[in-house]
Chain A
Amino acid sequence: MYDWNRVEARSWTGRSIALVDETLRDGLQSPSAIDPPIEVKLRILHAMADLGVDIASVGLPAAGARTQRDANALATEIARQRLPLRASAAARTVASDVEAVVEISQRAGIPVDCYAFLGSSPIRLYVESWSSGWLVERVRAAGEAARKGNLAFCLVLEDTTRTRPEALHELFSVAVDAGAVRICLCDTVGHADVRGTRALVEFARSTLVEIGAPHVQLDWHGHNDRGLALGNALAAVRAGVDGVHGCAGGFGERTGNVPMEHLVAQLAELRIRAAVPKPVIAAYARTALTAIDSSHAAHTQRQNTEPLVPLSFRVNGDAVDLAVRPSRTLLEVLRYDLDLVGTKQGCDQGECGACTVLVDGEPVLSCLTLAASTAGHDVTTVESLSGAPKLDPLLDAFDHHGAGQCGFCTSGMLVAAKGLLAHTPRPSRREIQHAISGNLCRCTGYGPIVDAIEAASLAPMDPAPVLPLPGAGPMPAALPPHASRSK
């Protein structure tokens, strides 16, 4: 195999890249997010630590009492559990916001980096009626407040991709003078793509050198405008930033942010950061998204109170009318509501195939199928295969060929085979192997199963095989005529 990713020998960056997780600030500003209770936020914080995040935003404390309380609790948790995270908090570039961050830092007894944000593009200045002199003054005031509170001060310049270089030069100098240890670009990315990103970061880097502040670090916090969040973040890394921001699932204000999971995976792929095991990434995403994704969370909250919905469908040819919760799976309805326990549950997550049934003749995994979605459809289960004395050819062949040992996966196999034979009456062995490739068997090694399905496909459908039943010999003699009737 040729790997084009490996053609370029040059390393993507010479810097070590910090990960800044903004889920609990920017992520919660997404229109699709809900603000979860603090217990849940704490769980998300731990998931960040597990993921290897360096800096975790605990929120924008000035946004309100609840946000402030939560930010406090999050910072305290980092301190108390000695989580390997550095806390950060967002602030507008005003002294009172910065002081709110100072208070959190002092209560928790740990440093909290203050990310103070400020719009800088001409259009923003025009819309907000800000003058550049006024901007400079605000930066100074915020920097002063941070210095007093002993906080690391980071200036977040919004809309930077639309700001003139001269204006940036001036803001950078002011920020450095105000004691900023870090400058963060650029929030809204707008039309800028990787070209703009790269040019901007390189400009910022050289400007910092030029003004005698090479020690000041650069962060990239770029929104997902035009779907370029990850691409722009990687371009920024290449152009020389020291940290990149991301949020679980790409949640974030406006168009969203860089999905942290993708960022982690991609930085590992580029050998910039250590690889994180997939299950850890998955656990992070699950923890965060089940809590903040409003569609998911609302679903969870609804579960117990969700109204019953009518479900009319046909099962093995019989009309069935039920009322079910919308979240009930077809597997649950078959096994628990209809006592059709021939269909088995092996994993309940669509991996093993033991729960395979046919819906309108097509095999589906009943554990992943909502029962309500089968309204008006035809469901066929393994119970539809006829038993003694006229055995279904598939059952007969499976029994003959030793195609089942423990028999637990066999129901799903039989149904998958039935689905196959319905549209491909004479399948090749390869077609059979493909048809059952979603059904795991742990006993047989599959050979006898393929043999059995092949044999069933070749068996004459009529007459069906007759199961040799015990006691098929002479029946008890006929009774004598009833005495009273013969009178």
Chain B
Amino acid sequence: MTGLVGKPGRRGDLVRRVRGEVCFTDDLRLPRMLFAKILRSPHPHARIVGLDATKALALPGVVAVLTGKDLPVRFGIIPWTPDEHSLVVEKARFVGDGVAAIAALDERTAARACELVEVTWEVLPPVLDLDTARDQPAIGLGASGKDNVSKVVDLAFGDVDAALRGSALVVEGDYHFEGTAHAPIETHCALARYDSDGLLTVWSTTQVPHYLHRELSRVLQLSPARIRVIQPPVGGAFGGKSEPFGHEMVVAKLAMVTGRPVKILLTREEEFYVHRGRHPMRMHFAVGAQRDGKLTAVDAKTDIDGGAYSSFGLVTTYYSGQLLTLPSFAPNYRFSSTRYFTTKPPCGPKRGHGSVQPRFAFEITLDKIAVELGLDPIEIRRTNAVPGNSTLNGMRITSNGYLECLARVEAASQWKERRSKLGFGRGLGVASSAYISGTNYPIYPNEMPQSAVQLKVDRSGVVTVFNGASEIGQGTDTLLATIVADELGLDLGCVRVVSADSDLCPVDLGAYSSRGTFMNGNACLMAVREVKHKLVTAVAEKLAVPPADVFVTRGFLAARGLENQAIPVDEAIRLAEARFGTLGATGWYKSPPGLGGSYRGGTIGASPAYSFTAHVAEVKVDVETGFVEVVKVWCAHDCGKAICPSLVEGQIEGSVYMGVAEALLEEHLVDHRGLHAGPNFLDYRIPTSLDVGDVEALIVESIDPEGPLGAKEAGEGPLHSSIPAVANAIFDAVGIRLDRLPFSPARVLAALEAKRSV
């Protein structure tokens, strides 16, 4: 360690990003480039009876038109459920499903041409809510065509019924989480070029360039060896760009058809329809406890509104139950989750995939139990902290800073002194959670590494990290540069990071499941340590000392006792290059085998390490207007080791902000005709600088034995419990329980009214 790791510092790459020097996807422009637009279905469920694009093709400036027939191969992120077409082949399944694509000389012409495509529809019955999905199986959105079911998971651990019967108290409740959108400021964009030598290059705003590479090959029926996928920096993703999309296939195909580069930029409205946002869930929870607060059993039943397609739905359905068993839990557990298809924009993973919704239900239930039993809500969480190194559903725990997280938020918020003592209208609430640091298994089964880097060491003293991981704003590039610079004693500026280019970088599976720091960091550490070993050996030989005496410090390699003969790092690199030949190294990470339970589905939710989080929220409730103000949130997060503390703080603050927004403002509503209630930033309100309270990020370091330098995830965990913490704080403030999100003034007023009339 040479002083970079664990120190707050500048991010480094921001300056070039904001002045247009580093190009985001839409900043790229290629010679002779065409623009594409996609005509989208106006119906939530309808069959294409006729499609005539003659008039569109005749419009001056239009170069090519594609329809579903041109791209007949299905695709999807999960290998077992590929149910999407690039453009509708037979039936549109939501308002916004792509129907035809136009490539034209400019964007406006392409848009106008879309209006000239004549589509005859046979309108089919829509499914716009969970009740219809369950009660009208004949509509047949499911794979069998006989129901609307996407995935069912039923798992039980222990005798739940007996445990509930033997409980002193059982708290039951229904909870509803309406969907929310990612709403990154950069909308989806993709650009494709098909060279005359038959090489296809696709640039895209994706979090999963490797999976995109695979699906492009499948859909276009083109060898992966003839495809190059490049992911430029992404302007926010949050899970919304973590699977292959129809528009990516469309621009690739259009480039092949026209022989010219083709770009598409989705509009803000399209962004809300393409969606893949957080699933709406309807949850029923029954949780039992003894008088001392010890939980006995958790019984959960969840209906999940999956929207039009499978997306990650198989995983979502498991995650809705599997990720609940930490950090405070009962010894008996049963969950039954059913994901239904509806004819709404497809849902997918959003920051805290599948587990934010049940966390909301469970943490409020825990608060109800504490209040009922007259216990301190932090204390009841301590009482039920899962002990040991394994959960009841078979997850392996290697490091656990949970109790410290609780202690930190308890102290920082002056919980004991202030809870329930702030007067009517003001209150504190607590909640806690845990999350994975990457999934233990790749999405498509294989034995190869999940993450890898290659280092190229230049004799000028510059090290380049060729890295497959996706920089989406979370800072993986900075993280890797920090690890390399710290190990070798280099300036941060001497490490260049080249990311996510399938021709230049080894494979990484993508920026999802909070896997970046853990897996990519480990891969990088492995590679840089090999280089470091060569530098140390060369310097030891030069100074004629045993290698064990050589150490790396800022800018130099030196030997104990011979500090005055320290050798600058760039000189050490040249010595090593002379000694070993051209310098470079590869490093990779593969998760340990055999993690997770041995039952069916037991590996879903298995991760090499888990992060822990506790939140305390302080709210002010205006009982006249129903307006809730989140004054402050304290969030303690166990990230194992903060390699770049500024980045970790940024992830905590960003997560809290996003969670509080979901608690108070955001609701992805689709109306009775399948239309989004307001696909823009005026109607779908995300907070402005005037809507946010203070956030205090508290970093807890439990030093994971398998994490890179001890590190675990920080990107998603700190969102989970922010929402129930706000709900519990509202209860502390005014004594109402809000079991349906978001906590809009209307809902708060209605609950206050209901409470008064009791």
Contacts and interface: CB of A to CB of B under 8 A. Distances in A.
B229 interface: no
Interface string A338-367: 001111111111011010000000000000
B18 interface: yes
Nearest to A336: B29
B472 A446 contact: no
Given A342-B19, A434-B690, A280 B185 contact: no
B681 interface: yes
Nearest to B671: A277
Contact of B18 (A277, A402, A407, A450): A407
A123 B683 CA distance: 50
A305 to B, nearest CB: 11
B686 A442 contact: yes
Contacts of B135: none
Nearest to B686: A440
Main secondary structure of the interface of A (DSSP, over half): loop
Given A342-B19, A468-B491, A277 B677 contact: yes
Given A445-B657, A445-B695, A50 B673 contact: yes
Nearest to B184: A442
Nearest to B238: A442
Main secondary structure of the interface of B (DSSP, over half): loop
Given A346-B268, A406-B233, A407-B18, A440 B649 contact: no
A1 B625 contact: yes
A391 B15 contact: yes
B185 A278 contact: no
A268 B263 CA distance: 44
A470 interface: yes
B677 A406 contact: no
Contacts of A444: 650, 653-654, 657
A414 B17 CA distance: 12
Contacts of A385: 19
A387 B267 CA distance: 31
B695 A447 contact: yes
Given A387-B19, A440-B688, A470 B494 contact: yes
A404 B185 contact: no
Contacts of A410: 14, 17-18
Interface in B654-677: 654, 656-658, 671, 673, 675-677
A442 B673 contact: no
Contact of B185 (A340, A346, A382): A346
Interface stretch (B20-28, B68-76, B196-204, B392-400): B20-28
Contact of B475 (A336, A347, A387, A405): A405
Nearest to A404: B14
Contact of A346 (B12, B187, B474, B491): B187
Contact of B689 (A279, A395, A405, A450): A450
Nearest to B660: A445
Contacts of B185: 344, 346, 352, 354, 406, 408-409, 440-442
B273 to A, nearest CB: 12
A351 B268 contact: yes
A470 B14 contact: no
Interface in A399-439: 399-400, 402-411, 414, 432-434, 436-439
Nearest to A434: B690
- Candidate in B10, B19, B234 with the most chain A CB atoms within 10 angstroms: B19
B27 A341 contact: yes
A108 to B, nearest CB: 20
Given A344-B186, A408-B24, A351 B682 contact: yes
B11 interface: yes
A121 to B, nearest CB: 44
Contacts of A473: 568
B447 interface: no
A442 B183 contact: yes
Interface in B44-103: none
Nearest to B652: A445
Contact of A352 (B491, B647, B650, B681): B681
Contacts of A388: 15
A411 B654 CA distance: 19
A198 B237 CA distance: 58
B624 interface: yes
A408 B14 CA distance: 10
B692 A402 contact: no
B352 to A, nearest CB: 15
Nearest to B624: A1
Contacts of B18: 342, 382, 395, 398, 404, 407, 410-411, 414
- Candidate in A348, A441, A448 with the most chain B CB atoms within 10 angstroms: A441
Given A406-B472, A442-B238, A347 B654 contact: no
A471 B187 CA distance: 37
B462 interface: yes
Nearest to A340: B20
A399 B680 contact: no
Nearest to B118: A39
B391 interface: no
A387 B494 contact: no
- Candidate in A346, A409, A468 with the most chain B CB atoms within 10 angstroms: A346
A407 B23 CA distance: 11
A347 B186 contact: no
Contact of B184 (A303, A304, A408, A438): A408
A440 to B, nearest CB: 6
23 contacts: A1-B625, A279-B675, A280-B671, A304-B109, A335-B27, A341-B24, A342-B19, A383-B19, A385-B19, A395-B19, A402-B646, A404-B14, A406-B186, A410-B14, A439-B689, A442-B183, A442-B686, A445-B657, A445-B692, A448-B653, A468-B491, A470-B461, A470-B493
Given A341-B23, A352-B185, 11 more contacts: A304-B109, A343-B20, A344-B186, A345-B265, A346-B187, A398-B14, A399-B11, A414-B18, A437-B690, A444-B657, A471-B494
Closest 6 CB pairs of A and B: A406-B473, A408-B235, A445-B657, A342-B20, A470-B493, A351-B681
Interface of B: 10-12, 14-15, 17-21, 23-24, 26-27, 29, 108-109, 182-187, 233-238, 265, 267-268, 460-462, 472-475, 491-494, 568, 624-625, 646-647, 649-650, 653-654, 656-658, 671, 673, 675-683, 686-690, 692, 694-695
Interface of A: 1, 50, 277-280, 303-304, 335-336, 340-349, 351-352, 354, 382-383, 385, 387-388, 391, 395, 398-400, 402-411, 414, 432-434, 436-450, 467-471, 473
